[in-house]
Amino acid sequence: METQSTSDFGTLKSSGLTTTSVSKRKRDDNNGQEAEPDPALARMAKRQLMEDDGFQMVLGKRSKKAAKLQRKMELPENAPKFSLNPSRCQRNITCSNLRELVQWCLADGTNTQWMLVQNKQFLARMVFLYVPSFDVVLGAHHALVQKYLNSTSKHPQFDIVYSFEKYLDDPVIQKRLESLPNLQRAFRHFCPTIAHSNQYRYQSPLPSLLTGPRNNEEKRAMRSRYIARFDEFDTTSPQTYLLSEQELLKGGYYTSKPHVEAALGDSTGWVETEAVGADIEKMRRAKYQTFKILAMDCEMCLTKAGNELTRISVVDLKGNTIMDELVVPDNPILDYVTRYSGITPQMLAEVTTKLSDVQQRLLDLIDDSTILLGHSLENDLKALKLIHPLVIDTSVMYTHAEASVEGSGEFEERRKPALRWLTKMHLGRTIQNSTHRLGHDSVEDAQACVDLLHIKLQKGPQFGVSFSDRACITDNIASTLVPRCMMQNPEFKQRAVLVGTGALKPYVGNTASYISTNGGASETAGHIVNQIPSHALVWAEFRNFHNLYHYSPKSRTPITTTGTTSETAAPSTPRDGSPEGKNNDDDQAIQSETVSSESDAGSNHNNSDKESDVLEPSEAEKIEQLVQFDVAFGKIWDNLPPRTAVIFNTGLGDTREQLRLYRLRGKARNAGSQPDLCEESIWTKDDEANYLRHVQATTIGMSMFSIKP
């Protein structure tokens, strides 16, 4: 930059000299008398000289500033430091507090009361290490949980900081600490940290760590953009809410037989309706065309081939039942999934209707102007092996209470609202009530979709949708100024990079980059070292300790838990994703279209009790993982530039016992008024109290802080 500026400056000076020579020639032409200078040339020369002088002066200031800043940074008294402030910390440190600390250090976040960042302006960069289950392997988590479970307070307060040597004086823990010499070069203390949860379930820490509040201006812009989508449409017409082709593909719908073949490798048994190939956008704008609306819901069972159809119900727009058929699958049934489907062996004993019979009836009902209405209808159409592109999906037309119709990145879109929750919230009635019947009623579910469409047409597109008040912190960091020393680092190609498994991908945002890994210590450390020079924030995830517990060999012997250990990564949301209210059994999780923000092991298993067995790794396995991680951390620490901040967080703790209780609780609730169907599923008030205590205990983790000298 300076070389280019100097060259320009020389060129401009030459132009000025040329102007003087022209004046001299004019004076000679006038017999030695002074000629009047050309006003235009004089003005140009003056302007060029002023620009030259100004430009050089600015560069001089910047150079002096940079040199002065460099001298200041090299002074020992100006080294940045983390200083915990116990007197200002009245509550336990949370994952949200860690996110605020990152934003305060790198962007324009709020000053944290519990942590003083001395000489913040001299921080060079930051590395955030997310290492779930590290505290479990080390033993620190068990010690903290014991204090929590032994406390009589509903929300016990931990000390803000603990010393490894004084607090974790157990000989076994001390031996494990000996496997971490590199880690102890950076950290000698840890802080208990609480992850977000509600009364009934804990949740993934990632949203709290990687997303922050969105300002009011951004919220208004989101709402305006959403409303603008419907400017050219009649919002009182059902066809307005047809899924676009892009939404069909994103939602997992098949749009043609070639699409099925590309996805599954075979389209045998699949049928297409007359509407395949229709111009969806044209139909959305059709003002005078009449459409037939059919609401559909299916129940499935588990066979050797996967999920197969056992019942189909079709309802018209007036709520009349057009079709309600039981169907016998083509393959032997492995599990009737009665607690969800409501289908029993006795119900199918005399049934002869096959899938092909149902397909033919549907082809007779559906024409090229028929719109199918349903909730997450892609699953029903797959069970029917039916391809139909004209779809209204209530799980898209409405949003989850904690999700958004539009988001930064993808993290809001990972949750779909449960039909049961939508029906109770917007229609004021209860469906899928396990206390009244066993399993779902597909006719009832289809009628609920019809009523949800009616109320949407009455109240407009904004009804039943939410606009997220959270945005990825990577975007916040990219859009705001960072400490002055960072502004002197032109090698920063981007502000942030996320390194880890697919669980991090939804939080990349619009500005950060993402590097996929399997979460192994060595691979992740290599990526971190490579990315440090070119990024202000490297946010990395290690999964080796988490995998040790959740993907353990089945040869291990299950251990019996007594409730003294707790912290299980239970599903971050129940299957239906519906918020649970106090004293509200109907809002409890049973079935869902919800996807957890973080794919914790065990949260998506198919109702297998064996998956909830608590398997304890051997001491040798724990030591092996600690040693591998310490080697990886040593590589990272040795390659950190001076003045680099490092934050270490474990997220949730041991989630296995909580997962076991979660499933037992679900069995009891799904048994409803017929406990004899599941004799072991008896759930008492004491069991509920124990479960709720364990929910909170699972959220206890640990954090550590350091700055490379």
pLDDT tens readout for residues 64-96: 666 666 677 677 778 899 988 777 777 889 999
Q: Where are any strands of DSSP class E within 542-626?
A: none
Could you say which DSSP state residue 672 is in?
Answer: T
Residue 481 has pLDDT above 70, yes or no: no
Query: Would you state the pLDDT for residue 494?
Result: 64
The rounded distance, in Å, linking the Cα atoms of 613 and 558 is: 6
CATH no., domain 220-459: 3.30.420.10
Cα-based distances in Å from 421 to 372, 428, 646, 666? 21, 10, 42, 17
CA 443, 444, 448, 454 dihedral sign is: positive
User: Are 299 and 343 in contact, with CB atoms under 8 Å apart?
Assistant: yes
The rounded distance, in Å, linking the Cα atoms of 58 and 313 is: 75
The rounded distance, in Å, linking the Cα atoms of 15 and 7 is: 13
Dump pLDDT digits (tens) for 398-441: 987 766 665 444 444 456 889 999 999 999 998 887 655 566 78
Query: Would you state the pLDDT for residue 506?
Result: 83
The rounded distance, in Å, linking the Cα atoms of 369 and 286 is: 11
The rounded distance, in Å, linking the Cα atoms of 513 and 519 is: 17
Query: Would you state the pLDDT for residue 668?
Result: 78
Q: Residue 583 — left, alpha, or beta (φ > 0 → left; ψ -120 to 50 → alpha)?
A: left
The residue ranking higher by pLDDT, 111 or 529, is 529
The residue ranking higher by pLDDT, 557 or 222, is 222
Name 337's Cβ contacts closer than 8 Å, sequence gap at least 6.
Answer: 300, 301, 302, 343, 607
Average predicted confidence (pLDDT) for the chain: 78
Residue 684 has pLDDT above 80, yes or no: yes
Tokens encoding 490? 């032109």
Query: Would you state the pLDDT for residue 45?
Result: 53
Query: Would you state the pLDDT for residue 471?
Result: 82
**Angle at which helices 39-74 and 2-29 cross, to 10°:** 160
pTM score: 0.67
The residue ranking higher by pLDDT, 541 or 157, is 541
Q: What is the mean pLDDT of residues 445-468?
A: 92
Name 657's Cβ contacts closer than 8 Å, sequence gap at least 6.
Answer: 561, 563, 565, 566, 567, 568, 614, 694
Domain ranges of the chain: 2-66, 88-210+543-671+694-707, 220-459
Query: Would you state the pLDDT for residue 316?
Result: 95
pLDDT band at residue 598 using 50, 70 and 90 as cut-offs: very low
Query: Would you state the pLDDT for residue 197?
Result: 76
Residue 635 CA to its chain's centroid (Å): 29
Dump pLDDT digits (tens) for 3-53: 333 333 233 333 333 333 434 444 444 454 544 555 555 555 555 544 444
Could you say which DSSP state residue 115 is in?
Answer: E
Residue 586 has pLDDT above 50, yes or no: no
pLDDT band at residue 256 using 50, 70 and 90 as cut-offs: very high
- pLDDT cut 70: percent of the chain above it: 74
The rounded distance, in Å, linking the Cα atoms of 707 and 127 is: 10
Tokens encoding 374? 């349903």
- pLDDT cut 90: percent of the chain above it: 41
Query: Would you state the pLDDT for residue 142?
Result: 87
Query: Would you state the pLDDT for residue 655?
Result: 83
pLDDT band at residue 55 using 50, 70 and 90 as cut-offs: very low
Burial of 182 (0-12, 13-18, 19+ CB in 10 A): middle
- Please state which of the ranges 145-149, 423-427, 444-448, 503-507 shows the lowest mean pLDDT: 145-149
pLDDT band at residue 446 using 50, 70 and 90 as cut-offs: very high
User: Are 182 and 195 in contact, with CB atoms under 8 Å apart?
Assistant: no
Query: Would you state the pLDDT for residue 57?
Result: 43
